[in-house]
Amino acid sequence: MMEKVLCVCVGNISRSPMMQAVLQQHLGAAFQVESAGMSKELTGRPANYRSVACMKERGVDLSGHVSRWIGDLDLDQYRWIVCVGHDEADKVRSALGADPARVMVANEHQGGIPDPYELGLAGYRECLALLDRVMPHVARRISGAGLASPNGRQPP
């Protein structure tokens, strides 16, 4: 059975769809990467047009993305849940009851993945560049470390 990974941000319209695409590229076909958001109010929205434009420059089409609310998902089906920040990770662990060992923060030691929402296309490009730097580490942890390293530390 294919292992599933969930990428989580606030609205599932900007960061987590981009993270999903970048992480899927790093993990390959052995994993199914999905995304969702913490905000129920944004359910059903398309990806932010800046996320779409930014990923289109990369050759990735996000135009069909529709945001999902994490509360509609069975979190037990995901081997890993990768969050954009500590707030999202804390909510996933506490309010949603996800196994803490399966929840990680991308770019944890730098405070996560900053929200580019009000920073224009340049901010989205910076966000994508950060995802490009961080996702190889996340992918290595997911594909190689199993559940042995729940503290989020990256390998040396």
pLDDT digits (tens, 9 = 90+) for 13-56: 999 999 999 999 999 999 999 999 999 999 999 999 999 999 99
Tokens linked to 130: 């950060």
What is the largest distance, in Å, between two alpha-carbon atoms of the chain? 40
pLDDT of residue 145: 55
- Rounded average pLDDT over 109-120: 94
- Rounded average pLDDT over 116-122: 93
Question: Residue 106: which residues within 8 A CB-CB, separation 6 or more?
Answer: 19, 82, 83, 84, 112, 113, 131, 134, 135, 138
Q: Give the Cβ contact number of residue 150 at 10 Å.
A: 13
- Rounded average pLDDT over 124-138: 97
pLDDT of residue 149: 37
138-152 pLDDT, tens digit each: 999 999 854 433 334
pTM given for the model: 0.90
Q: How far are the Cα atoms of 1, 3, 10, 135, 143 from residue 146, in angstroms, in the given order?
A: 15, 11, 26, 16, 7
pLDDT of residue 92: 94
96-112 pLDDT, tens digit each: 777 888 999 999 999 99
Where would I find the H helices in 4-119? 15-27, 49-57, 86-93
57-77 pLDDT, tens digit each: 999 999 999 999 999 999 999
Query: At 80, is the pLDDT very low, low, confident or very high (cuts 50, 70, 90)?
Result: very high
- Single out the residue of 88, 100, 91, 101 nearest to residue 19, CA to CA: 88
Residue 6 backbone dihedrals phi, psi, to 5 degrees: -115, 130
Quick one: DSSP state of residue 66? B
Burial 107-141 (b: 16+ CB within 10 A, else e): bbeeebbbbbbeeeeebbbebbebbeebbeebbeb
pLDDT of residue 12: 98
Question: In angstroms, rounded to a whole number, what is the distance separating the alpha carbons of residues 37 and 18?
Answer: 13
